Amino acid sequence: MGDIRCAPDELLVPGKLVNVGPPLLATGGAVSNTGVALHRLGVPVRLVGKVGNDLFGRAVLELLNRAGAGLADGMVVADGEHTSYTVVINPPEIDRIFLHCPGANDTFQAADVTADAVRGARLFHFGYPPLMRRMFLDEGRELVEMLARVRALGPAVSLDMSLPDPASEAGRVNWPAVLEKALPHADVFLPSLDEILFMLDRPRWEQMRRAGEILPQVDGRLLGEMADRLIAMGAAVVGLKLGEQGLYLRTASDAGRIRAAKLLAGESVWCGRELLAPCLEVRVAGTTGAGDCTIAGFLAALLHGLGPEQAAGAAVATGAFNVEAPDATSGIPLWDRVQARLDSRPARREVRLKLASWREDKPRGLRLSPRDAT
């Protein structure tokens, strides 16, 4: 992954040579960003992904092993295939632009996740099926097979998404059908609002995109509508990443579904929750991997047996550490520092979402919905 920084109006100008400075070569995606962030938080991890037996593939393995001895041991190296790569154009203070080649990710299949790879794990996290062709073909048949098989082996299952290119094959997939089949096997579902709007209500997503940035148009009703549909499809916990506005959390009201999620610390604490954790006020150095690191903080909290308020807080605190560094994971500290930052009651970014009748929980820096079961 090359991370190129310059002003947006200087990019991709025909016939012009643009001096962008040195590149940053780093691994990216759910396996690397979320996995390495969890490792840096002190959580034992096993990374499973697929690379080609090429220069980029060898670089990925080397970078993972630099991040932690043995982190690359579970990676699949496929002869004759190209390693996936992404060029991330990352101007300060605005969202990133991605130029992507899926490479070996397109041949990743359920069989690449073996029983040995998940043996003894408490949690299995899988990310970015829209960027993995075998995972979205046939209404997600391989994805559903993998999630169901892994969950039957014992771990709780967490799932993340990415935004499909609307003009690509992934953009033409029947995503509601995929989610209907996959989410009964996903205890925790952590996409962005942008991704879920595209997947569940593409006409509305297109209309909102034409009107400008999506987040300023978002209200509590829209968040609840999207999350409730996902919970009805089978997820126990839905977290919608909202960029600079934080993390929205909604949980199932069915105590049986909460119990079945395994990692959740008590049905009375987790049932019927709806809240928002605003982002911390920070000086932003870069946003690469911010969503993945936010997920890492949330999952680490679950592994520590924390409740929804603490988990949402840990998520945005970990995301804050991420954006204070220019790359994806070097700013992520040990878990105790995340907790210490939250204990200091840090300043939060102003909430600009339309959240009528939501109440503020000042000690924890949260917003609670009128529907929240507390």
- Judge whether residue 1 has pLDDT over 50: no
Q: Is residue 87 part of a domain?
A: no
Q: Residue 367: what pLDDT?
A: 98
Q: Is residue 159 part of a domain?
A: yes
Which pair of tokens denotes residue 113? Answer: 């996740």
3-state SS, residue 277: strand
Q: Is residue 61 part of a domain?
A: no
Distances (CA, A) of 64 to 59, 75, 94: 9, 10, 28
Q: How many domains does the chain have?
A: 1
Q: Is residue 86 part of a domain?
A: no
Look up the pTM and report it. 0.93
Are 332 and 293 a contacting pair, CB within 8 Å?
yes
- Judge whether residue 352 has pLDDT over 90: yes
Between CA 269 and CA 43 the distance in angstroms is 23
- Judge whether residue 326 has pLDDT over 50: yes
CATH of the domain at 306: 3.40.1190.20
For 14, phi then psi, to 5°, come to -55, 135
- Judge whether residue 272 has pLDDT over 70: yes
Q: Is residue 4 part of a domain?
A: no
Q: Is residue 256 part of a domain?
A: yes
For 53, phi then psi, to 5°, come to -85, 70
Q: Is residue 66 part of a domain?
A: no
Angle at 151 between CA 192 and CA 311, to 5 degrees: 45
Residue whose tokens read 């002003």: 7
Q: Is residue 79 part of a domain?
A: no
Between CA 76 and CA 72 the distance in angstroms is 9
Are 106 and 100 a contacting pair, CB within 8 Å?
no
* Residue 241 lies in domain: 26-48+103-368
Q: Under 8 Å CB-to-CB from 243, ≥6 apart: which residues? A: 95, 192, 215
Q: Residue 125: what pLDDT?
A: 99
pLDDT band at 2 (very low <50, low <70, confident <90, very high): very low
Q: Which tens digits make up the pLDDT trace of 162-219?
A: 999 999 999 999 999 999 999 999 999 999 999 999 999 999 999 999 999 999 999 9
Are 1 and 292 a contacting pair, CB within 8 Å?
no
- Judge whether residue 372 has pLDDT over 60: yes
Nearest to 314 by CA among 330, 329, 335: 335
Rounded to an integer, the average pLDDT of 95-110 is 89
